[in-house]
Amino acid sequence: MAKKTSKRERAEKLDYAALRRELRANGPGRLYLLYGREDYLREDFLREIRALCLPEGDDGFAYHRFDSAQPDLRALAEAVNSLPFTTERTLVEVRGFDLNRCREAEAEELGKIVSDIPEYCTLVFVLDAGYEPDMRLKAAKALVKAGKAVEFTAQSQGQLVNWIRKRFAALDKDIGPEACAALIMTSGELMSGLIPEIAKVAAGTEAGEITAADVERLASPIPEAQVFKLADCLADGDYDGAASLLGELLVAGEEPIMAVAVIGMQMRRLYTARAAIEDGLGRGFVEKNCGIKYSFALDRLMNTARRLSIGYLAGAVELCAETDYAMKSSSTDDGELLRELLIRLAVR
């Protein structure tokens, strides 16, 4: 896994609307490095680049694509320098390049290629959604120096709610902010994951307006949403409900060790929120330290934290850490350890 980088080393903060306006106004540049979790926006931006570079489509000469963690750099150089025939530009697309494992000699060669891209060529490196380049390494530095690096992150609350409402409107359905918040809490913040859920909820609702209850009934929850509910059940003393949610996680195919990781993360967030409440640190402290992007998610976290004591949450964090260690170091069945964790959380 790549190490964390400082703010100066990371790509600029994403303003997708401004990014797209800049592309349309100035035309495609010579080099782009596209990465980040929000793959829907990444692919949308790439379509914009393709349309500008290849307005008549691929003629067999102007478009070159490489799909490899270790592409042939000599072939890449040839593609970059190949002249367009029926179009003004050539487009070279490199997908899945493992920049973090690029050796010194390869990084040197890559640096030479990207430092001398012809004005008629656009070279785009597209990294997988779960991949984060280490911007301190030579290969990544060469790309950032020669072109534009864009990290595609989840959109702000207002932008995402507007986008959801437009998607539902295209399906002849109305949805209010409360139901939008319920959908994001249930199915996550990434657009590629929300698209099928929007279609499912719209198809399964006869009325013209989508409610939070419709979302609860029809949308598929991500593990983080299930753990949010599980924490609420523990706070309310509903241990049967917590056990049921844990069972749903396992039936859905979630690995026990990953379930513990998600539960542990939520308990750490709740502990931080509870500590902030007791010390009067405010919502901003929790938002910053827990990485909460949306006000409705922060509201729910704070409300749950108020119903749990600081001592309980400190113990819960310790139990999750102990269970994670046991899963990685003992021969005990992971499922049994996970069920034991839930029992111990309930008993505490």
Q: Is the pLDDT of residue 240 over 90?
A: no
- Give the separation between CA 242 and CA 43, rounded to whole angstroms: 38
Arithmetic mean of pLDDT, 297-306: 92
Q: Is the pLDDT of residue 46 over 70?
A: yes
pLDDT higher at 234 or 177 = 177
pLDDT higher at 317 or 11 = 317
pLDDT band at 10 (very low <50, low <70, confident <90, very high): very low
Q: Is the pLDDT of residue 331 over 90?
A: no
Q: Is the pLDDT of residue 9 over 60?
A: no
Q: How far is CA 12 from CA 69, 133, 276, in A?
A: 24, 14, 30
pLDDT higher at 271 or 56 = 271
Identify the weakest region by mean pLDDT among 133-142, 251-260, 330-339: 251-260
Arithmetic mean of pLDDT, 235-248: 85
pLDDT over 70 percentage in the chain: 95
Ordered by where they begin, the domains of the chain are 16-151 (3.40.50.300), 157-218 (1.10.8.60), 223-347 (1.20.272.10)
Arithmetic mean of pLDDT, 203-225: 93
Q: Which runs of consecutive H residues, i.e. helices, occur in 73-176?
A: 73-81, 104-114, 138-146, 157-170
pLDDT at 227: 85
Q: Which runs of consecutive H residues, i.e. helices, occur in 54-127?
A: 73-81, 104-114
Residue 51 belongs to what H/E stretch? helix 39-53
Residue pLDDT, tens place only, 124-165: 999 998 899 999 999 999 999 999 999 999 888 899 999 999
For 103, the token pair is 């050796």
Which of 63, 20, 21, 17 is closest to 45 using CA atoms? 20
Arithmetic mean of pLDDT, 89-109: 94
Q: Is the pLDDT of residue 7 over 50?
A: no
Residues 6+ apart with CB under 8 A from 136: 3, 5, 9
pLDDT band at 6 (very low <50, low <70, confident <90, very high): very low
Q: Is the pLDDT of residue 333 over 60?
A: yes
Arithmetic mean of pLDDT, 310-314: 94
pLDDT over 90 percentage in the chain: 67
Arithmetic mean of pLDDT, 160-178: 96
Does residue 60 contact residue 86 with C-beta atoms inside 8 Å?
no
Identify the weakest region by mean pLDDT among 62-76, 164-178, 180-194, 234-248: 234-248
- Give the separation between CA 249 and CA 338, rounded to whole angstroms: 11
For 104, the token pair is 């010194």
Identify the weakest region by mean pLDDT among 80-84, 242-246, 250-254: 250-254
pLDDT at 199: 97
- Give the separation between CA 108 and CA 270, rounded to whole angstroms: 47
State the pTM of this model.
0.81
- CA dihedral in degrees (70, 154, 39, 197; nearest 10)? 140
| Rg, Å, the chain Cα set | 24
Arithmetic mean of pLDDT, 36-51: 95
pLDDT at 13: 58
Cα dihedral across residues 128, 131, 137, 141: positive or negative:
positive
Arithmetic mean of pLDDT, 63-92: 92
